[in-house]
Structure 1
């Protein structure tokens, strides 16, 4: 998908304030169902979580998985602006979905004979089943997201902190460039690898960038009347703290790694947990490409990263040793 941005949009580009519970809920349902090879590397990070959730998944989750299918757009009514930072506000907004909006959002939903009658009727704009849908969402959240929410919010906060530094030191251009590799910024347009064809023209309403822990590919949420469109993108996942030790241990571990490698190389190692190019790493760290080349040379000689070239792009990723060091 190609998103065209004018000057009026660029001056209104912003970052979400925190993790989006409705966005995480919908994205996690897609991740739960993924078995494809194209996103295997990103999807594999959730294997342990996926196994736990499948063991206790309620029957009502079948309806949610029908609505949030992998590699298909998430129905817009499931991502209301009112639910950006608060689950109950989002669920209340879903309850108020108008019949026309419901029917429009589900116009491409596939027929499924195994769906309960109330769920199948949603595609016809029948809002009578919305209370059952909201209850299914609440039950799923309690099972799948609530136990992991500290991790989700912590990872999203870390990504937001990194993006804020990019915006402060490099402006909107650095912020948008730093969304690579899944989102490419070539002024005046953002292009995403979401397998959804089409161009979204500018309306001068800006763009809100929303890091999403459970995303493995970007997703655009069109603006409601008078609102701002949102681009949900996979957040850069930092090394997780050992189970049960919490954020204090994570901060201590990060400080120890910075003492060992130096703050810039430690930050580079964290960013490379998802792999990126030299220019992307430079944008995310707020340093020059030549400085990045020096740091990656040291990390490569230490056996912490590997580097390979694809045409004119130099790509870096962690070795098993680098991943193990990051997880320490």
Structure 2
């Protein structure tokens, strides 16, 4: 994938929020891959997936781009807006998306009907999306939005301190910025020519993916949000946040909870009411334990949780919004 950005495009870089369409498409791929990340979620969804959900799995295969009609540009409007746009998909665009998903292979009967513009086939696909969203996405939407908002806040700070170049550089390793081009794995080559680019942090994403937007709007680049490889937290929580404080000490527990949404050294010092030098000592211990990672962008040092740190925080039920009470 190569995205060529002009000077006009660089002035039109946006940051999106949690997008139900992107999360759905990305999660369908996760559902079909192995690995320990999301394993608990994967088992639950696979066990309960209705038969018509297999249509979605066929359309969103690992290693293949998502059909553009499944990720309409509705942003954070919600699943109803997504369904409305999908139902209004032009027949030619629908057929192109189905054939691209087939990758030259045979089309199942339902896919042939969908590509042929069958209203009944499109409605059945919409019902499959509704059922899948209720099963796989909706129960975890609060967690998804929390993670995505944390990533967007982190990128916003990087943009403020390091400019557009710093922002695009921070997308590595999913995307490489080699001015004036963004590069990643397999995918199309796009020349944006002034339409701009919307960056969409996606919790379930395992790699970056771009979709040109119709009607001259910005292209959209979905990329793995910070901590996207963390497992979905269990519905039942373990011990309270006091257990975390007893395990690693109250100040480091508060630091860990605060870093759930990403923060700089100075922000962490302010939240904890300690000096920056004291924060540096605590973050060094947490980093050596594999609980946090640190990213330097020019004069700013930003800290965020590793999958291990986020898993520990989730399993112990610590609330990042209550960080001060852990002191």
TM-score by length of 1: 0.73
CA contact (8 A) 1:6 1:188 kept: yes
Distance 1:50 1:241, change over 3 A: closer
| 2:203 counterpart of 1:213 | yes
Distance 1:302 1:326, change over 3 A: farther
CA contact (8 A) 1:166 1:174 kept: yes
Post-superposition CA distance 1:14-45 (Å, at most 9, x none): 101x210011111111110113xxxx4xxx32
Q: Counterpart in 2 of 1:6?
A: 6
Distance 1:65 1:162, change over 3 A: same
Distance 1:160 1:297, change over 3 A: closer
Aligned length: 284
| 2:25 counterpart of 1:26 | yes
Distance (whole Å) between structure 2 residues aligned to residue 61 and residue 136 of structure 1: 5
Within the candidate set 142, 166, 190, 1:200 is matched to 190
The 3-state SS of whatever aligns with 1:232 is strand
Q: Counterpart in 1 of 2:79?
A: 87
Q: Counterpart in 2 of 1:106?
A: 98
Distance (whole Å) between structure 2 residues aligned to residue 145 and residue 319 of structure 1: 20
Q: CA RMSD in A?
A: 3.8
Within the candidate set 186, 191, 205, 2:183 is matched to 191
Q: Counterpart in 2 of 1:312?
A: none
TM-score by length of 2: 0.74
Distance (whole Å) between structure 1 residues aligned to residue 52 and residue 131 of structure 2: 9
Post-superposition CA distance 1:249-273 (Å, at most 9, x none): 69x98xx989328969x85x987xx
Distance (whole Å) between structure 2 residues aligned to residue 299 and residue 320 of structure 1: 14
Note the C-alpha offset of 1:306. Answer: 11
CA contact (8 A) 1:19 1:157 kept: yes
Distance (whole Å) between structure 2 residues aligned to residue 212 and residue 322 of structure 1: 17
Note the C-alpha offset of 1:86. Answer: 1.5
Q: Counterpart in 1 of 2:290?
A: 304
Within the candidate set 166, 177, 182, 1:174 is matched to 166
